Each structure stands twice: as C-alpha cells, then as structure tokens.
Amino acid sequence: MDRDGLRAEYAAGLRAAAERRFGAARAEALAQSIADAAGWMTDVATFPVDADEPPAFYAESSA
Amino acid sequence: MSLHELCAVDAARAIRDKVLSPVDLVDALLERIETVDGRVQAWALVDRDGARAAARQATDEAARGVFRGPLHGVPFGAKDIFYSAGLPTEAGSKVMASFVPDYDATAVGRLKAAGAILLGKLHTTEFATSDPAPTRNPWNLACTPGGSSSGSAAAVAAQMVPLALGSQTIGSNVRPASYCGLVGLKPTFGRISTRGVMPLSYTQDHVGLMARSVEDIAFALAVTAGHDPDDPSSSRAPVPDYLAAITRRRAPRIGLLREFFERATAEVADVTAQAVNRLADAGAGVEGAKLPPTFRAVPAAAYLITRSDTASIHAERFAQKADLYRPAIRSSIEMGMLIPGDLYVRALRIRRQFRRELKPLLDRYDVLLTPTTPAPAPEGMATGDPQFQVPWSLSGLPSVTVPCGLTTSRLPLGIQLVSGTFGEAALLATAAWCEDVLGHAQAPSL
C-alpha cells in the first residue's frame, strides 16, 4: 500500500476507534488531531528501522 | 544598577561579600513584580511571606558567616508543575485546582539546599502542553513568550527573578528562553531528577534551566544535577565541575546544520548566519554538517511517544475529570489512547536508531549549531513552533540556547548548540565562549 493509502487507512481506523470510545461528537472534534496522528503513524510505520534495533531503555541514560 | 538587574552569580557573590542582603534582594524583586507583572503575568503564585522569611534567615546566616551553598540568598522561580511543599501546584489546570504537595521536587529541594530562595510558582501551559498560559513576552506584550515554560522565561527576561526552573518534553524550555532573549539549557535526559515534576512523557521529560547568563546556568546545573534514587530515570553518570569547565573557554569546532537554516524565515537565517560569521571570525572552526536519514522520522516518533505517554499518565484523572481539561491536552490524551502499541514501540526503536546514527556527527564536532527557532516569537497566544527542539528532546541530548541578536522588530533570536550525551561541561564552555563573542543577554524595556 502506498503512503497516502496507508494514511487514509490509519485515519479511518482512528476515526472509528474515537467514535467507539468517545462518541461521535468527540470524534468529529478530533478530526484535525486524527489527521495529524495518521500522518505520524504513517511516517513511523514506513520508516526503515534496522531489524536488530531494540527500543531505548532507561539504563541508557547513563551510557 | 538596580538590584533586580543582578544575575544570580553576581547576587550570590555580593551576598557572600556581605555587600548585599538577601532581604534587600527579595524586597527589590517583589517590588519589581509589583511594577511589571500586571502586564507580563508570569507568576501563578508569589510566595511573599515565605520568601521574606527565607530571606531573613539567609541574611542572619550570612551575618554569622554561614552560607548554605553557592546560591545562598538568591531567589528563583519554579514552573508550576514542580512540586513545592506547602504551596499550591496547579499545572495551569482546573484538574489540579488547590493541589498542595507535601514535598519539594528534587530540583526545587536541591536549589533550596544550595541556599536559593523560592520566590513563587510560574505560569505554565496546561500540564506543560499547548493550552496557553496568560503570560506575555516582555519584549513585546502582543507576542507569546513561548511555552510551555511561559512564566519561567518571561519572569527571568523581565528581571523579576534571576533564575527559573522550566521543563522540556518537546520544545518547552529552550524555545521560550530564546523567544525571551535568555540562556536556556535542556540537559541530557536523566541529568536532573524529574521527581516531583508533573510528568508528560516518561522518556522525554527533562528539567530545564533559564537565566540571563551561561555562568548562572552553570551554577544552577552544578547544584541540581546528579543521581536521585527516587527517580527511576535519573542517571548515575558522574557530575563534572561545571563551574571549572566554563573557565576553559576556547574556540570550538562547530557543525552547522544547514537543514534548520533552510526551514527558518529569511530574517532568522540571516541573523543567525551573521552570528556564525562572528564566531568564525573569532576563531571557531565552522563546517556544514548533515543529520542522518532517521532525522525525517523524528517528529513523528516524538509525537507518538509523547501522546501515548501522556494518555497513560492521565488515564485515571481523565476518566473522572475529562471535562475539566482544556482542548489541546484533552485531544492529546484522547489520541494517545488510540495509538497502536506496535507503532509506539517502533517509535522507540526509531529514537534509539537516531541516537546511534548521531554519534559519529557528535564525535566530529564540539557542538552542532542551529537557529534556536524557525521564527521569532509569534503574536497572539499560540506558543510557537517547537520543531527545532524536537530532535534533542527525543534523543535526550543536551542543548542550550544563547542570544544572538534581535529582529528588525526587536524580538530576540538565539543560536541553539547541541552536544553528546552528558556533554554539558563542554557544551556550557562553548556556550560561554559564544556569549563572549556575541554579547550577553539584553533586557527588554518595560
């Protein structure tokens, strides 16, 4: 799926989840936030993270 | 010079030399607050009685030759997300109305232990996000001081206090410091304890410092840095002698991050380039430097992490008091509840990769340099664009802003310097060298 398609899929999923969780009125109020988050999710999902890259840990603060 | 104009270190020296009493200094600052804070609105709470009592005690001790520490008798302010024993701490939110903690945040406690006097609490955007504080920029009251540490920046710039605690999760300490013409430091993640600081993100919250000189920042960092067993994110890395470090000033090797100049307004790029030319003329080695490809995923990773963390932090309170939250923080919490776990973890992996890929660049130069902000403080209430701080908040690397000039409309601009993990000693030495070349922070006329 291309980036635009993925973004649209994320946005639709977020919208549906927002309606279920917060109601239709809040989901509508969150329209811009949903669009922003769908963009960030697309950027993160499509960025080529190294396969052996683990998440960061607190212990690294002293490294 | 009026007493309210004294920077922290000069005040501390005058008190130690017994030519200034903490009582006179606190009274002068309280008078300054009376004079200008009606327009600036930096303070959420001024603890007149508490500060005067502490000043009387500090004055008595000084008369007996007893000095608690290097900031004996010097007032400071704390952003109103820092716990302060016995004083309301409301985070700019109705959700926290009348909340009074029974202990001091570690950073507040350490400043007090060094002799400093808490003058009061400074306005913040709600829970340090983006619903604005009432505070105005002392350089132009129509403009924002930036946020979320709005009151901290405005109070120091308006000479109501010489030193303030702020915080940064995305861009909330360095950006307002620059908008208000100050020196502002965001140290390495884990360098200053966040215990007793209302959290926004477990892995991106940093305590920040604001003052009118690099030397003041070094003094404040010297007394606030170091391991806190009550903060799981606090580092055990040794604390260098920051005061000695800033006496070892030398022309640095600077890696110039041109991508940031290209994203700035023409005036910001031009003023910053002129400052860089002055640094080069004074002996700095300046080269263009390029960030690794991970840089393009940095904003998205930072926002997914902070939204998710914020949702987790506020879950219980939000379930009971959702309607008391203002719009921006409410939306942040709600969106954080919807972000899938696999993408949150992927964002954490991007952060680690970014840190790893930055290391060769940081090893090559003493500092990386950018304009601190893409534009000067905007008019209105919105707190401005934090994009130039995001990479360093996400990666936990230390960054500092130093004033570098004014726009044609007389709004301050700064250069942002970044160094490697726990590189604050060398970073502050470089910042002090730059300050020598570019000139010290100016004061707005109020």
What is the model's pLDDT at position A63? 42
Catalytic residue among B172, B234, B308, B393: B172
**Is A61 a residue whose pLDDT tops 80?**
no
What is the model's pLDDT at position B350? 97
Q: What is the mean pLDDT of residues B212-217?
A: 98
Which comes out higher in pLDDT, residue A53 or B367? B367
| Cα–Cα distance for residue pair B312/B411, rounded to 1 Å | 38
- Res. A60 pLDDT band, cuts 50 70 90: low
For residue range B59-82, list pLDDT tens digits in order: 999 999 999 999 999 999 999 999
Q: What is the mean pLDDT of residues B173-202?
A: 98
**Is A62 a residue whose pLDDT tops 70?**
no
- Res. A27 pLDDT band, cuts 50 70 90: very high
Residue of B nearest to A58 (CA): B233
Residue of A nearest to B302 (CA): A40
Interface test with B, best of A26, A40, A57 (most B CBs within 10 A): A40
What is the model's pLDDT at position B253? 98
Tell if the CB–CB gap between B334 and A55 is shorter than 8 Å: no
Maximum Cα interatomic distance, chain B, rounded to a whole number of Å: 61
What is the model's pLDDT at position A58? 54
**Is A59 a residue whose pLDDT tops 70?**
no
To the query of whether residue B148 is one of the catalytic residues in this protein, the response is yes
**Is A10 a residue whose pLDDT tops 70?**
yes
**Is A57 a residue whose pLDDT tops 80?**
no
To the query of whether residue B79 is one of the catalytic residues in this protein, the response is yes
Supply the mean pLDDT for chain B: 97
Report the percent of chain B where pLDDT is more than 70.
Answer: 100
For residue range B332-386, list pLDDT tens digits in order: 999 999 999 999 999 999 999 999 999 999 999 999 999 999 999 999 999 999 9
Least confident range of B40-44, B184-188, B440-444: B440-444
Q: What is the mean pLDDT of residues B256-261?
A: 97
User: Is B155 buried (19+), middle (13-18) or exposed (0-12) by CB count in 10 A?
Assistant: buried
Give the count of Cβ contacts less than 8 A between chain A and B: 101
- Res. B167 pLDDT band, cuts 50 70 90: very high
Buried b (16+ CB within 10 A) or exposed e, B344-357: bbbbbbbbbbbbeb
Nearest to B353 among A29, A45, A53 (CB): A53
For residue range B226-256, list pLDDT tens digits in order: 999 999 999 999 999 999 999 999 999 999 9
How many helices (DSSP H) and strands (DSSP E) are in chain A?
Answer: 3, 0
Region of residue B330 (phi > 0: left; psi between -120 and 50: alpha; otherwise: beta): alpha
What is the model's pLDDT at position A1? 77
